[in-house]
Chains A and B, each alone.
Chain A
Amino acid sequence: MASFLFRTIQSHSFLLCPTTLLRRNNGAFYCSMKSTHTQTATQEKQQPPPKIKSSPQGNQAKTRTLDRISKEYEAIIGIETHVQLSTLTKAFCTCPYNYGAQPNTSVCPICMGLPGALPVVNSKVVEFAVKLGLALNCKLSFNSKFDRKQYFYPDLPKGYQISQFDIPIATGGYLDVDLPVEYGGGHRRFGITRVHMEEDAGKLLHADDGEYSQEITFPIIYALQVDLNRAGVPLLEIVSEPDMRTGLEAAEYAAELQRLVRYLGVSNGNMQEGSLRCDVNVSIRPVGQSKFGTKVEIKNLNSFSSINRAIDFEIARQALLYSQGKADQIVQETRLWEEGSQKTVTMRKKEGLADYRYFPEPDLPEVILNKEYVDSIQSSLPELPEMKRRRYEEMGLSMQDVLFLANDINVARFFDATIEKGADVKLAANWIMGDIAAYMKNEKLTINEIKLSAAELAELIASIKGATISGKIGKEILFELMAKGGTVKGIIIEKDLVQIVDPSEIEKMVDKVLSENPKQLEQYRGGKTKLQGFFAGQVMKISKGKANPGLLNKILLEKLNAKS
């Protein structure tokens, strides 16, 4: 349908020069319907949030320098996060958004900014904004509005972005974070300045290879094309207070925000797909100084570990300049994190403050919330990560366990459901964090994709505790359940796995083994007591693993030592 709206004109080369972003020989800038082979047609499944990797070991000297100067300087870090909302349709039109769809296949007159088209607010966007605002402990604006942020860029079809300027929907909240135990742990509360609603822009892609381009910043030797699938997709921008002091804190703040949006179901929070994008501002100052240093913005942070490493690099870079008396070389600029070289590099220097000529969006009515609406959303909020962690802590779990279980909402739900079925808390946690987590990792499955249900895990734990089966058999059953499903009882019956707890039956088996291995028995009685393990293994073998290990050992020992 849209094809006649687009023209394809030949591609061109661009070069960078300081005053112009793009240069080309002749011809036109254009949109096209060209597909990108790097994209897949289906939505990637949500992966559990990765643990933040520690800084690369790097060279020792650098680490030592960082350690030394980090004592002399304090870093001030603030984060702007864009969260793409997982609404069925875009913010102001009825187009669906599917990551990775063919370029310009999910567009309409409204999100393409055709003449005469008008935006209409998707009420889910407001609902999600209120949800996140409440979850971040913010004050809501019952009377907010949309504004136009104006600038020219080829991925911005209307020449302005519908956003919120002076009256954001939520302000003045905070986010609680538990730092990982392996980094010393600790609880932090980071301030939230504001949350506001806005629309996403499209994407630029290189004409010849279909690769998406981040920004037109470095010498570009391709013509660019515009994909407007993402244009008009709803975003929430969350601005933090400058409360973070280390790369780790910043990364943990971002990870907590991801956890929160996933718990709330407002976004898939996927950083690789760009559903969660963080830009960080870093400045440093000598410890004890109250005046802030010059702030540098870092972009292109595609993972929590890159946030961590980029900030630590930037702190070290700035501290080094400071310590060398070159503080004036720290200028207000935007720097790009380069994953390959593990460095931040200058992307663009700020030429004064950009004037976006904000004014109230006349095509949209004000956003009016009422108390009933807010109350109904408040009461429908799920248990949030912080609440969950505190509850798990009270259940007696270690902080390590708490952080693991609450990290992924699906794992937490699975754990909660297992407990609800009466399973022992510590045992359930151990099973989930041990064999189940290992299996998921090996098979690259999420907890929702394995065939094991929480009810069956509870049953399994109960069966072991009640001595119906041994722990060893339990493990076997677990893998069967995870791979093929079924019930614990069914598998026990089907495979005849009920534990043998009748002492006389075990005694018979022990007798049989002892009589069949007279040589070993003699050796044992001659002092080679470690052969006990051999006898136990033999008995277990003929019992097909079903003999109760405690009973077996007890009876075996009695018999072995009886005549000596």
Chain B
Amino acid sequence: MLSTLHHPPRRLSRFFPANNKPRHFHTKPVLSSSQPVTDQSPSSTSPPESQILSIRHSLLSREVTATQLAETYLSRLKLAEPQLKSFIHVSNNVLKEAQSIDDKIKRNENVGPLAGVLVGVKDNICTVDMPSTAGSRVLENYRPPFDATAVKKVKEFDGIVVGKTNLDEFGMGSTTESSSFQVTANPWDISRVPGGSSGGSAAAVSARQCVVSLGSDTGGSVRQPASFCGVVGLKPTYGRVSRYGLIAYASSLDVIGCFGSSVADTGILLSAISGHDRLDATSSKQEVPDFTSQLISAALLESKPLKGLKVGVIRETLENGVDSGVKSTVLGAVSHLEELGCTLSEVSLPSFSLGLPAYYILASSESSSNLSRYDGVRYGNQAAAEDLNALYGDSRAKGFGSEVKMRILMGTYALSAGYYDAYYKRAQQVRTLIQKSFKTALDENDILISPAAPSAAYKIGEKKNDPLAMYSGDIMTVNVNLAGLPALVLPCGFVEGGPIGLPVGLQMIGAAFDEGKLLKVGHIFEQTLQGCRFVPPLIADGIPQ
């Protein structure tokens, strides 16, 4: 079936036209000295450091207080917010919580690994003291009586939830434009989308409105916005992180994921939120390793730190339909990996192109069921109506946006008697095929790589009326959800566009529960990438007009 896998690994010379050497990237001054940012490294092009570790160091050495840090982030958040609109709600308790961290430190008490770290939380993840709307009118002003398990864990580790970030309604979308409340802008070019559906969480980390953030990824909703916003995004293995408290879109595909400005931060956040949860029957009992223990400091790296690592480049992800700039940037990343000692080969996933239709059938089917509970009877907005059918119909008609309605209709259709076998069942069969082909490819390779998205960030409104064009942008990511595998997206270069270029993300896909390897490889890749500093102009140049 996968005939190419039996070929001896070969160098990927065919990807490189003779006249097109792997690009290294233009750089840009990162910060003006007037910026109220305390956490920037001295060199404008040095690789990103872990903000979480540096915050911890500053706090424990008493260089800075959690309150000061929180004030810095909050003031930047407020400065950027009018243009970015990353947040649906900002917590009123940030300074109070920072103060209690400071009190603990003053009393020489132990503080958790996320002490003083401001964490943005996607608004489809339940928080007890803040609204949780999933970006939908139907849940406007809804406040859950419980914290999602991931949020609970962040709080237990002394992280501070700074606010709830914007998203496509119920996570359905790739641009964050289908939020019922606001359109989030991309910090690299505010006329462009941040990607989606976790656009708010990606933009907030990119613009340093918070240190790290939680998102959710059903078909690429963490990875594609990470690529668009030039940050690190991690989609864990299905079951690695409890879904309890994640407002369901498609239960068999949904995972909570992490955003950070460095691979290390993403790994630290993942360590915090991972693990079995008795409230989620689909959460795994697989042991959770310390994902950061294998991260080696750049200074200690050997010349070929990834020697022997087998990397498969997914052929189908670099074929037609991929933006040429994205393609050459990713091929640049390929040659970078090669320089690090990796053995590269081309891998074919013949069922790859089936992933998109299978994904949209399965995700729509599950969502049509998951969203049945928004009937206006118990919570959320309820329409005044004359009879029961009108009550249901009007509450849902007024509460849901058009993208959500479209997917409910598609899903209801796919599950209907007489169509089930042709759609839902067939899509499940495709899913099994995809799982098998990934399994085979990952038996042969340590990781697989592909672009995170076929293009860089596009203009707001550009694909709003062309859902098929928008859906096709998910081609790089949906297969990974269907297979339940972990994937890391990290910035690997730029393409032309916007004031200073637009970031491009590289996707690394690992075997189930092998996030540790992805983080290790990603960290080395990131620390050795020359000449790239992924700080958007919104921060680099102050808040632009």
| Chain A interface residues toward B at CB < 8 A | 1-2, 4-6, 14, 17, 20-31, 109, 112-121, 148, 150, 152, 154, 157-160, 216, 226, 353, 355, 357-359, 362-365
Known: A21-B389, A25-B386, A157-B377. 18 other contacts (CB 8 A): A5-B379, A14-B387, A20-B386, A29-B376, A29-B388, A113-B373, A114-B378, A114-B379, A116-B245, A116-B247, A117-B146, A118-B280, A150-B372, A159-B372, A226-B377, A357-B416, A357-B420, A362-B282
- Residues on A with beta carbons closer than 8 Å to the beta carbon of B126: 115-116
- Residues on B with beta carbons closer than 8 Å to the beta carbon of A6: 378
Let me know if A23 and B386 touch, CB within 8 A: yes
Rounded to whole Å, the gap between the CB of A353 and the closest CB of chain B is 7
Binds A, one of B23-31, B137-145, B520-528: B137-145
- Residues on B with beta carbons closer than 8 Å to the beta carbon of A118: 243-244, 279-282
- Which residues 481-520 in B have Cβ within 8 Å of A in the complex? none
- Residues on A with beta carbons closer than 8 Å to the beta carbon of B369: 148, 150, 159-160, 357, 359
Let me know if A29 and B377 touch, CB within 8 A: yes
- Which residues 402-420 in B have Cβ within 8 Å of A in the complex? 412, 415-417, 420
Main secondary structure of the interface of B (DSSP, over half): loop
Let me know if B377 and A357 touch, CB within 8 A: no
- Give CA–CA (A116, B282) in the complex, Å: 14
Contact status of A359 and B243, CB under 8 A, knowing A5-B378, A116-B132: no
Let me know if B378 and A28 touch, CB within 8 A: no
- Give CA–CA (A260, B472) in the complex, Å: 57
**B271 contacts the other chain (CB 8 A):** no
**B384 contacts the other chain (CB 8 A):** yes
- Give CA–CA (A117, B420) in the complex, Å: 27
**B365 contacts the other chain (CB 8 A):** yes
Let me know if B373 and A157 touch, CB within 8 A: yes
Q: What sequence of 0s and 1s flags, for each residue 379-391 of chain B, a beta carbon within 8 Å of any chain A beta carbon?
A: 1001011111111
| Chain B interface residues toward A at CB < 8 A | 125-126, 132, 134, 139, 142, 144-146, 148, 243-248, 250-252, 278-282, 365-366, 368-369, 371-379, 382, 384-392, 412, 415-417, 420, 424
- Residues on A with beta carbons closer than 8 Å to the beta carbon of B387: 14, 17, 20-24
The residue from A24, A158, A363 contacting B372, defined by CB atoms under 8 A apart: A158
30 A-B residue pairs with CB within 8 Å: A5-B145, A6-B378, A20-B389, A23-B386, A24-B385, A29-B388, A29-B391, A30-B377, A112-B378, A115-B132, A115-B247, A116-B248, A118-B243, A118-B244, A118-B280, A118-B282, A119-B281, A150-B372, A152-B375, A152-B392, A159-B371, A159-B373, A160-B369, A357-B415, A357-B420, A359-B415, A362-B366, A363-B251, A364-B282, A365-B282
- Give CA–CA (A69, B261) in the complex, Å: 84
Rounded to whole Å, the gap between the CB of A5 and the closest CB of chain B is 6
Rounded to whole Å, the gap between the CB of A199 and the closest CB of chain B is 14
Contact status of A115 and B389, CB under 8 A, knowing A120-B280, A357-B416: no
Rounded to whole Å, the gap between the CB of B279 and the closest CB of chain A is 6
- Give CA–CA (A27, B142) in the complex, Å: 20
Q: Considering residues A26, A120, A364, A365, which has the most beta carbons from chain B within 10 angstroms of its beta carbon?
A: A120
- Give CA–CA (A532, B138) in the complex, Å: 93
Rounded to whole Å, the gap between the CB of A348 and the closest CB of chain B is 14
Rounded to whole Å, the gap between the CB of A255 and the closest CB of chain B is 36
The residue from B142, B251, B375 contacting A115, defined by CB atoms under 8 A apart: B142
Q: Which residue on A lies nearest to B145, using beta carbons?
A: A109
Contact status of A157 and B378, CB under 8 A, knowing A116-B245, A120-B278: yes
Q: Which residue on A lies nearest to B392, using beta carbons?
A: A152
Let me know if B372 and A21 touch, CB within 8 A: no
- Residues on B with beta carbons closer than 8 Å to the beta carbon of A2: 145
- Give CA–CA (A28, B244) in the complex, Å: 30
- Residues on A with beta carbons closer than 8 Å to the beta carbon of B125: 116
- Residues on A with beta carbons closer than 8 Å to the beta carbon of B392: 152
- Give CA–CA (A366, B201) in the complex, Å: 34
- Give CA–CA (A109, B247) in the complex, Å: 12
